[in-house]
Structure 1
Amino acid sequence: MSIYKDMGLKDIINASGKMTVLGCSTLDRRVSDYMREASDNFVEMEELINKAGEIIARYIGAEDVCVTVGAAAGIAISVAAILTEGDLDRIEKLPIFESDKKNIIIQKGHVVNFGAPIVQMIKLGGGNPIEVGQANKVEKYNIENNINENTKALLYIKSHHCVQKGMVSLEDMINIGKKHNIPVIVDGAAEENLKIYLQKGADLVIYSGGKALAGPTSGFIAGREDLIENCKLQYKGIGRVMKVSKECIAGLIKAVEIYFTDDHKAKAQKQKEKMEWLMDEINKIEGFSSVIEKDESGREIYRLKISVIREKLNMSAEEVIKYLKNGDPSIFTRNHYSNIGIIYIDPRPLNEGEEKIILNRFIGIGKIGKEGKK
């Protein structure tokens, strides 16, 4: 029984992914022990922020890093850093930025809600979001034709939430930025490759500490030394309400260390094998059909895609999801395509043996479906 059950809350099996709504990740004991040790001592926070940036930057090959409380904060802080250019008077006045030179260009297909609107994060940093192109098609000229003397940055969102086809590539976005001498910000919140976007030429790259890194509630911005220095200055302004604790900074450092020393290929293979076993078993249940599918944005994540065959199960995908959630423990699945009868199981957050509990729940749903036909 978890401490949440003791509080009167329901136990949860997270088959959805590293989702903020479910608390992102569970912590490796090495991370939580490190955080506990950090919590037992005092430290000068500015020095810790600088030292953490120095350590993480060495791992990922960045000029410098600014730690944050999360990736959403990273967007607001990055925008604020570019707009205020180190001017403390401007920093103290944010999010009101009294200048026309505050346009942040973003592709229409990247204007998503990740639990809150992306454009709201831009506005918190004082920016004026300029949405270009259409939701399913953006051309390079859509970006270039909207660049003017008021354009301060280009923002690229790398996420499964975004439209994956018909958008201007990151490479083209970076080339446009260099051509017009405009910085490019990449929101790579849940991305697994912590080096590639800097290597491609992005000026600032934002990551979550609680997703791919499986760390505590945290994040960081990596990139150009001058821009990172301006990011750190935001803690004298809007960053104050987004401050990250000493414990979480310590946990983030340890999570990064583990990330670069553990065998991720072996872990991904084990997760894939677990999903292959579950696929074979679920395919034995009338009303379900499942296959293994790689993450749509190219990450080494292999999820189980379960199609609900309504005419055989006598139940919709939404009804299946309801049964999964209403059980004890409550099972949360990945439901972005439930409207077309598809449910996903993400293996990354699953604890040992939870795949068997999931299977038993699906077997029970299959029996309910059969009884409904009688």
Structure 2
Amino acid sequence: MTNRRSFLKGLGALPASTMLASETGFAQGIERDHFSDIGVKPFINAAAAYSALGGRNMWPKVVEAMEYARERNVIMEELQDAVGKRLASLIGCEAAMVTGGATSSMTLGTAACITGTNEELIRQVPDLRGMKNEVIIQKSHRYSYDHGVRSAGVQLIEVETAEELERAIGDKTAMLFFFFLNDAKGQIKLREFAALGKKHGIPTLIDGSNSVPPLSRLSEYLDAGFDLAAFSGGKGLRGPYSSGMLLGRKDLIEAARLNNSPHADTVGRAMKVSKEELLGMLAAVEFSLSFDYSVENVRETRIVHLIADKLSVYKNITTKVSYPRTESGRPHLQIFWDKSLTPLTVEQAQKELEDGEPSIRTCYLALSDGELEVGAAMLKDDEVDMLVQRLGQVLAPRAG
């Protein structure tokens, strides 16, 4: 059982000026325009810390830790041991490991539930002949990233009710899988789902990838009864882009590590994590625990309302502040226009924003109720006026 009190103990808030000053200082002294040199065009990120858009900018303390690791040689297993113990202590869970991202965590967690520490079974994955090869999931929780579970070779068994889930459990059941973002869509809610796993002695894994902040989520799912929880490292935690964490039961974390690099004949060999990423992920959690995330919320709220105010001069444009659950309730701005005056679909408007100068990316339609939506998490203050100008240009009334 995790201990939220110890998890939050000593959580000192850092002022916004500390963070902003350190980020500004880190940006100084860069002389070469690397992206321009190779013909890659930067863009204004008015969306979110999506993986396809590069994730979130790392804390300067993370970069500092990675630079420290770059200059030194260590045994990788010893470093994973030490980092895992430190993360488990900070978070208040039995065990932890750094992975190559949330999807990597899902693959390794699934493999762990299939093989345990049996080296012969570990070498066999993803060929599951003669092994447990089924993972039960709610039909409403199917999504593209469940490929991370399927990568371990399992078949997903879809159910809709608790009764169906219990009937589906059999000798081939390796694990029960839950997607945090679809909790409201499924008939079996989060705590009940975890309890069903406990009742039948089947391990449970939850994908909590982009649910942080708040930092309490790192312990919340395990407190709710899940055996394993997967998280992204390069989004809200602002660690290395290609990092993540798998948290949970000590025996399952041990098995997940045996299924991972540096072990050669394993399903996770291709999911290698460098010493720089291991130390960077630890630094990200340490710094995040001391950072007052309300500072970010205040800043993003201010920017969203500033954009809305500046867009109000355009008579055919209206706006609405939203708080999408997909982004942990961070403030976003939905933008609407009179389509009789500007006959553009949302997709066409996005395309014009992307193709213009500067290029601007907005929130994925699947994550924004199909509307043109902008987020402020990745926006710099000096990009706001350019964003408003480009929106005004693209959405301006057009002659018939």
- Tell whether 2:209 aligns with 1:189: yes
Residues in 1 aligned to 2:94 and 2:353: alpha-carbon distance in whole angstroms:
46
Following superposition, the deviation at residue 296 of structure 1 comes to 2.3
- The one of 140, 149, 161 equivalent to 1:122 is 149
> For each residue in 1:256-294, what CA deviation from the matched residue of structure 2 results, as whole angstroms up to 9, or x when unmatched?
111100110121121111111112222332333211111
Following superposition, the deviation at residue 94 of structure 1 comes to 1.3
Residues in 1 aligned to 2:69 and 2:380: alpha-carbon distance in whole angstroms:
27
Within 5 A, what are the aligned runs for 1:274-289? 274-289=303-318
Contiguous gaps of at least 5 residues in structure 1 = 133-137
Q: Which residue of 1 aligns with 2:295?
A: 266
AA aligned opposite 1:373? A
AA aligned opposite 1:364? Q
Residues in 2 aligned to 1:148 and 1:293: alpha-carbon distance in whole angstroms:
43
- Tell whether 2:72 aligns with 1:45: no
State the percentage of identical aligned residues.
29
Q: Which residue of 2 aligns with 1:252?
A: 281
Q: Secondary structure at the residue paired with 2:254? A: helix
Q: Which residue of 2 aligns with 1:135?
A: none
- Off by >3 Å, runs of 4+ in structure 1: 337-341
Residues in 1 aligned to 2:343 and 2:292: alpha-carbon distance in whole angstroms:
43
AA aligned opposite 1:8? G
Residues in 2 aligned to 1:335 and 1:288: alpha-carbon distance in whole angstroms:
20
| Alignment RMSD (CA, Å) | 1.9
Q: Which residue of 1 aligns with 2:180?
A: 158
- Tell whether 2:170 aligns with 1:148: yes
- The one of 217, 236, 243 equivalent to 1:212 is 236
Residues in 2 aligned to 1:341 and 1:220: alpha-carbon distance in whole angstroms:
31
Residues in 2 aligned to 1:298 and 1:359: alpha-carbon distance in whole angstroms:
22
Structure 1 pair 2–357 and aligned structure 2 pair: CA distance change class (3 A): farther
- Tell whether 2:55 aligns with 1:19: no
Residues in 2 aligned to 1:289 and 1:338: alpha-carbon distance in whole angstroms:
20
Contact 1:337-1:343 at 8 Å conserved across structures: no
- Tell whether 2:347 aligns with 1:318: yes
Following superposition, the deviation at residue 314 of structure 1 comes to 2.4
Q: Secondary structure at the residue paired with 1:311? A: coil
> For each residue in 1:209-236, what CA deviation from the matched residue of structure 2 results, as whole angstroms up to 9, or x when unmatched?
0011111120010001111111111122
Residues in 2 aligned to 1:327 and 1:302: alpha-carbon distance in whole angstroms:
25
Q: Which residue of 1 aligns with 2:246?
A: 221
Structure 1 pair 163–172 and aligned structure 2 pair: CA distance change class (3 A): closer
Following superposition, the deviation at residue 206 of structure 1 comes to 0.4
- Tell whether 2:87 aligns with 1:56: yes
Following superposition, the deviation at residue 128 of structure 1 comes to 2.0
Contact 2:349-2:395 at 8 Å conserved across structures: no
- The one of 180, 199, 202 equivalent to 2:226 is 202
> For each residue in 1:13-44, what CA deviation from the matched residue of structure 2 results, as whole angstroms up to 9, or x when unmatched?
11221111111111222211211111111110
- The one of 109, 124, 127 equivalent to 1:96 is 127
Contiguous gaps of at least 5 residues in structure 2 = 1-31
> For each residue in 1:95-149, what CA deviation from the matched residue of structure 2 results, as whole angstroms up to 9, or x when unmatched?
11122522101111221114xxx1x3223223221122xxxxx322232221122
Q: Which residue of 1 aligns with 2:399?
A: 373
Following superposition, the deviation at residue 164 of structure 1 comes to 4.1
TM-score normalised to the size of structure 1? 0.91
Contact 1:198-1:204 at 8 Å conserved across structures: yes
